[in-house]
């Protein structure tokens, strides 16, 4: 006898949350279809793997207590093109906006302001130079730092990374700092060095790499389903990134005392590597005032990122004076009629910089150290446009877009 007829065939209602979990689990473990929804939920074990360190959450709790009281809270993000929102189809699908959504949903009475200070093709060296201008001037309560794919996994980059973090932690607003580690397609990033810095300052840290890359290695997720290139997340990837940050925030919120504000955070410790990059100056636009100018003109094109002092005639000379133990020069690199310059700081050995860029996806500002371990006081920076150029370039154009100094 067919026993099916004796069974209760009344349809059962499956909770929507459980359905979302099942869909996400199947996507993650058996491959996500190209049309997968960017709202898919990561399985708990993947979320758990993303947590590198919860850290000292006092500053985060202080920001949440402020939001719970219905006050204004500013959440800032600094990083490269991922933070800027590359490859997200809409602004609201960027991980930055999604994390801002968590704050608004969790604290509906608060005024939540989101500051996106992501700039494509930039690392923590430029981040340390611009963090005051682009982030700390906005008085953030929370700062998320994302440079793990734009920086190499080296002590040199860890030093500039530490400088940015120290500058933020020691700023008058004393924001909570949360570190985010993304990844390249091959699984590489700067997480090894950056976690050393984060652990030293007891910071909260989450890793998109630690969450997702094991699934890729196991064949449960295809890279093409979360990224259209070798590094930038698509809508699904941005959503997953937001989920691992939101999960950490939810853990902290769960420990927030019902009454009273948490006690003050621990004092910022002595540097792990150096505090040299905590103290910086950045000169761009009208703030770049040459002491010598032969053949250069200041130009502010439609693409504001390329604004700066421009020369096209070999032999043109430009000089500046600025203080610092480390001096940076920033220039516009693009696949176009770009030339080379020879840069000399005081009487040290010169540095040649080529503004021609082999790739064709667009231009970016290169931030390069041109002098280090310098004596206290001002230093002369001399820039000469060379006749020599890349053989593939059709011209000699060069744009000095910024100057920076550290160790003031």
> Of the ranges 9-13, 125-129, 306-310, which one carries the lowest mean pLDDT score?
9-13
Residue 297 clears pLDDT 50, i.e. is over it = yes
Strands of 213-339 (E only): list them.
280-283, 292-294, 297-299, 308-311, 317-323, 326-333
Q: Which tens digit of pLDDT belongs to each residue from 241-250? A: 999 999 999 9
* CA separation for the pair 282, 130 (Å, rounded): 7
pLDDT (mean) for 16-22:
40
pLDDT at site 38: 53
- This prediction has a pTM of 0.89
pLDDT at site 39: 56
Residue 216 clears pLDDT 60, i.e. is over it = yes
CATH topology for 279-406 is Jelly Rolls (2.60.120)
The DSSP bridge pattern shows strands 340-345 and 378-385 to be antiparallel
Q: Which tens digit of pLDDT belongs to each residue from 359-399? A: 999 999 999 999 999 999 999 999 999 999 999 999 999 99
pLDDT (mean) for 148-166:
98
* CA separation for the pair 61, 262 (Å, rounded): 7
pLDDT (mean) for 185-205:
98
Tell me the pLDDT of the chain averaged across its residues: 91
Rounded percentage of the chain residues whose pLDDT exceeds 70: 90
pLDDT at site 330: 97
pLDDT at site 8: 36
DSSP 8-state secondary structure symbol assigned to residue 61: H
- Positive or negative, the Cα torsion across 188, 189, 195, 196? positive
- Order the strands of the 204-207 sheet from edge to edge: 51-53, 204-207, 176-181, 142-146, 72-79, 111-118
pLDDT at site 250: 98
Rounded percentage of the chain residues whose pLDDT exceeds 90: 86
> Of the ranges 7-21, 81-95, 129-143, 161-175, which one carries the lowest mean pLDDT score?
7-21
Residue 84 clears pLDDT 60, i.e. is over it = yes
Q: Which tens digit of pLDDT belongs to each residue from 36-72? A: 445 589 999 999 999 999 999 999 999 999 999 999 9
Q: Which of 63, 76, 143 is nearest to 106 (CA)?
A: 63
For domain 16-254, the CATH superfamily is SGNH hydrolase (3.40.50.1110)
pLDDT (mean) for 12-37:
39
Domain parsing of the chain, residue ranges = 16-254, 279-406
Residue in the structure block whose two tokens are 């204004």: 72
């Amino acid at each position: 006898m067919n026993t099916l007829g004796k069974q209760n065939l009344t349809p059962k209602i499956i909770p929507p949350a459980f359905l979302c979990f099942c869909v996400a689990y199947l996507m993650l473990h058996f491959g996500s279809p190209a049309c997968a929804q960017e709202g898919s939920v990561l399985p708990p074990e993947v979320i758990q793997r993303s947590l590198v360190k919860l850290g000292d959450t006092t500053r985060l709790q202080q920001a949440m207590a402020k939001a719970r009281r219905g006050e204004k809270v500013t959440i800032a993000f600094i990083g490269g093109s991922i933070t800027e929102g590359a490859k997200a189809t809409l602004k609201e699908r960027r991980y930055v906006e999604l994390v801002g959504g968590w704050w608004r949903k969790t604290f509906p009475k608060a005024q939540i302001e989101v500051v996106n200070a992501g700039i494509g093709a930039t690392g923590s060296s430029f981040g340390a130079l611009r963090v005051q201008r682009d982030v700390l001037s906005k008085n953030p309560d929370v700062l998320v730092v994302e440079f793990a794919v734009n920086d190499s996994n080296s002590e040199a980059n860890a030093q500039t990374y530490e400088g940015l973090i120290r500058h933020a932690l020691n700023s008058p607003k004393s924001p909570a700092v949360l570190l985010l580690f993304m990844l390249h397609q091959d699984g590489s990033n700067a997480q090894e060095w950056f976690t050393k810095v984060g652990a030293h300052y007891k910071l909260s840290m989450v890793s998109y790499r630690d969450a997702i890359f094991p699934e890729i290695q196991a064949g449960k997720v295809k890279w093409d389903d979360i990224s259209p290139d070798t590094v930038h997340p698509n809508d699904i990837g941005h959503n997953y990134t937001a989920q691992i940050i939101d999960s950490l925030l939810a853990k902290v919120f769960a420990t927030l005392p019902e009454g009273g504000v948490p006690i003050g955070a621990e004092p910022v410790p002595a540097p792990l590597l150096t505090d040299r990059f905590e103290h910086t100056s950045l000169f761009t636009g009208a703030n770049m005032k040459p002491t010598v100018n032969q053949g250069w003109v200041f130009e502010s094109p439609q693409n504001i990122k390329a604004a700066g002092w421009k020369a096209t005639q070999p032999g043109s000379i430009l000089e500046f004076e600025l203080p610092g133990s480390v001096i940076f020069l920033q220039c516009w690199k693009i696949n176009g009629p770009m030339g080379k310059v020879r840069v000399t700081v005081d009487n040290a050995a010169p540095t040649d910089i080529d503004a021609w860029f082999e790739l064709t996806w667009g231009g970016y500002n290169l931030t390069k150290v041109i002098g280090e371990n310098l004596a206290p006081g001002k230093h002369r920076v001399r820039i000469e446009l060379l006749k020599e150029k890349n053989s593939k370039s059709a011209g000699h154009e060069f744009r000095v877009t910024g100057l920076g100094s550290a160790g003031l």
